[in-house]
Amino acid sequence: MNSLAQPARWERVFWPILACALFIALWHFSVVWTATKVFPSPRDVEKGIAGLLQKSVLWGYIGDSLRRVAVGFGAAVLVGIPLGLTLGWYRVADRVVNPVLQLLRPISPIAWIPIAIILFGIGDAAATFLIFLGAFFPIVVAATNAVSNVPSMYRRAGRNFGLTPAGILLKVVFPAALPQMIVGLRIALGIAWLVVVAAEMIAVDSGLGYLVIDSRNSGKHYDLVVAAMLLIGLIGLGLDILFRRLEQMKAVRWGFRHVN
């Protein structure tokens, strides 16, 4: 097959389905051949999901998880983008703030759990705070880099047409940096979805993360554990696909176009 050729339509559907089918088959036969009593088979998990869907609690859990991500991620965007724009614009500010950011950035949000509980107690606020932390650093770093990567030619053109510094920031630097910022937002959203599950295992008693840990603790329901894991994966994939849609917007698509 010519690697430059566009895959045919049937191929784009066929190969992913085949891969999923093979994965499920491998899973099924692994369970059968090892004769495990603990790990659920695909059939068990399917029944588990069906059972969860009948109880309305599942939709509530999904809603809770998504709400926490929306609030934590939203707050990270609202604080992180303006901060990143400022740091990218004023190099001096970046030199002051950057060492602190670089020191805090590698600390996993999980390590913040004790602090979050001291600050916010056990509950939604603590979980949201952890999500905020997980999303905040990648957003700031992406926005800072995006602004400092804007070609000087664009700023020069902005100055030439008589824009004020604020005008250059809003009408030139922001749109020029937007594609790279969207990449950062997408990574941050992925991290936020990872963190919400971890946060819900500790700080709250609802959500998909809580479902995983609760299914295990209340009678070792591993079919429900795996069912919840699969749902987490599917919803995460869905969020990523939705976010990729943003990259197709005309005002930013130029930044994602690969050289042919």
Partner 1 sequence: MPSSEIVANAMLESKLRARQINMTFKSGSESISVLENIDLDVATGEFLCLVGPSGCGKSTLLSIMAGFLSPTSGTVTIDQEKITGPDPRRIFVFQERGVFPWLTVEGNVGFGLFKLPKAEQDRRVAHYIKLVGLEGFENAYPPELSGGMKQRLEVARALAVNPDMLFLDEPFGALDSITRLIMRGELLRIWDAERKTIIFVTHDIDEAVQLADRVVVLSDRPAKVQSVVNIDIAHPRDISSARYLELRDGILAQIGLAHRV
Site residues, partner 1 (CB under 8 A): 151, 153-154, 156-157, 159-162, 167, 171-172, 175-176, 178, 250-255, 257
Nearest residue (CB) to partner 1, 56 versus 248: 248
CA dihedral 130, 131, 136, 138 (to 10 degrees): 110
**Residues in contact with 163: Cβ distance below 8 Å, sequence separation at least 6, in sequence order:** 171, 172
As a whole number of Å, the CA-based R_g of the chain is 23
Pick 73 or 89: Cβ nearer partner 1: 89
Helix axes 222-246, 57-89, angle to 10 degrees: 40
Q: Which is nearer to partner 1, 139 or 173 (CB)?
A: 173
Query: Minimum Å distance from CB 140 to partner 1?
Result: 22
Name the minimum Å distance from CB 74 to partner 1.
24
> Which of residues 170 and 229 has its CB atom nearest to partner 1 in the complex?
170
Q: Are 134 and 161 spatial neighbours (Cβ–Cβ below 8 Å)? A: no
Place of tokens 């097959």: 1
Least distance from partner 1 to the Cβ atom of residue 157, Å: 5
- Coil, helix or strand at residue 144: helix
| Closer residue to partner 1 in complex, CB, 111/249 | 249
- Whether 122 and 199 have beta carbons less than 8 Å apart is answered as no
Closest by CA position to 26, among listed 48, 42, 49:
42
For the chain, helix (H) and strand (E) counts, in that order, are 12, 0
User: C-beta of 166: minimal distance to partner 1 in Å?
Assistant: 13
* Shortest Å, Cβ 51 to partner 1: 49
Least separation, in Å, of the C-beta of 148 and partner 1? 18
* Chain mean position to CA 53: 25
Closer to partner 1 at the Cβ: 99 or 162? 162
